[in-house]
């Protein structure tokens, strides 16, 4: 246990409405896998975020930032300390060609807002689940674009020091499915710089992306999207399929027969199941192709 009795008492006294103790994180990840958070806290304002971080630091409790849980595998032992969840921290403001958005806003909501104002540049969000905060850290995207193409700046709070910071696009260090924004920081807000575009053209691109995903990706199972990053010049799905991994199972975790780079929870899978399957797929691809796959999904928590 990482929460002192003093911190527990302070949280219950000052922030009881936004705190959930011993909260099952399987309810906050799209894989529907994960042990409990010692305490899950879902602030609604920047002031509440700052207060929670300062309070946790004063009492020496570790803090973990949780967004939409769409790219996360939480181990069965859960996460000790404070899990700071952004799902209620989701304001959006539009000013001309810019959208300023808090980290907990869903990618779908941001796309909808851009379409409402006929702003182009975030059509790629039609194929990206989760929230803006996680999307920034991962530089999420599709063939239509990624966050690095539209981000002006990102504001964060350091979960180890409580310091507020602001990075320009260049300082974010965006790369393919990653950035220099450390996971020890909680994204507060980001500004997106978009361009006016005909609404029908935006709708056409988004519809095409969504149809492509519908045709290629499994449905009816819990998943985190692509499990592995594509190696340079190739596709993880092709490597996994040709290595004979499609349909491979460990417990209720499965290498999807529809898309090999989607390792899915068919119902009741544990993190142990999924991690064993990940390692088996990695091993077979390495043996067959000589390529060591790199995880896109983030594995966190305790065994």
Active site members: 177, 226, 296
For residue 12, report the phi and psi dihedrals to the nearest 5 degrees: -65, -35
46 exposure class (CB count in 10 Å sphere: 0-12, 13-18, 19+): middle
Spatial neighbors of 215 by CB under 8 A, at least 6 apart, are: none
For residue 77, report the phi and psi dihedrals to the nearest 5 degrees: -80, -5
Q: Is the dihedral of CA 153, 157, 158, 163 positive or negative?
A: positive
Other CB atoms within 10 A of residue 90 CB: 18
Spatial neighbors of 151 by CB under 8 A, at least 6 apart, are: 136, 169, 172, 174, 190, 191, 192, 193
């Amino acid at each position: 246990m990482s929460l002192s009795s003093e911190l527990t008492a302070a949280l219950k006294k000052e922030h009881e409405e936004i705190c959930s103790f011993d909260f099952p994180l399987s309810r906050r990840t799209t894989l529907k896998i994960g042990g409990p958070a010692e305490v899950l806290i879902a602030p609604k304002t920047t002031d509440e975020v700052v207060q929670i971080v300062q309070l946790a630091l004063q009492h020496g409790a570790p803090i973990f930032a949780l967004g939409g849980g769409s790219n996360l595998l939480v181990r069965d032992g859960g996460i000790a300390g404070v899990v700071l969840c952004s799902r209620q921290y989701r304001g959006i403001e539009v000013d001309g060609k810019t959208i300023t958005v808090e980290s907990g806003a869903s990618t779908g909501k941001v796309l909808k807002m851009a379409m409402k104002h006929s702003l182009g540049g975030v059509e790629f969000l039609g194929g990206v689940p989760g929230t803006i905060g996680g999307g920034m850290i991962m530089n999420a995207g599709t063939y239509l674009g990624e966050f690095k193409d539209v981000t002006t700046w990102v504001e964060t709070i350091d979960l180890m020091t409580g310091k507020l910071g602001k990075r320009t696009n260049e300082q974010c260090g965006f790369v393919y499915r990653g950035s220099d924004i450390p996971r020890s920081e909680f994204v507060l807000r980001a500004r997106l710089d978009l361009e006016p575009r005909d609404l029908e053209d935006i709708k056409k691109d988004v519809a095409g992306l969504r149809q492509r995903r519908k045709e290629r990706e499994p449905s009816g199972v819990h998943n985190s999207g692509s499990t592995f990053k594509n190696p340079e010049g190739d596709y993880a799905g092709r490597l996994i399929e040709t290595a004979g991994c499609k349909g491979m199972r460990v417990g209720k975790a499965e290498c999807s027969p529809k898309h090999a780079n989607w390792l899915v929870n068919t119902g009741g899978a544990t993190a142990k199941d999924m991690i064993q399957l990940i390692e088996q797929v990695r091993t077979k691809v390495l043996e067959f192709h000589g390529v060591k796959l790199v995880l896109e999904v983030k594995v966190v928590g305790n065994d």
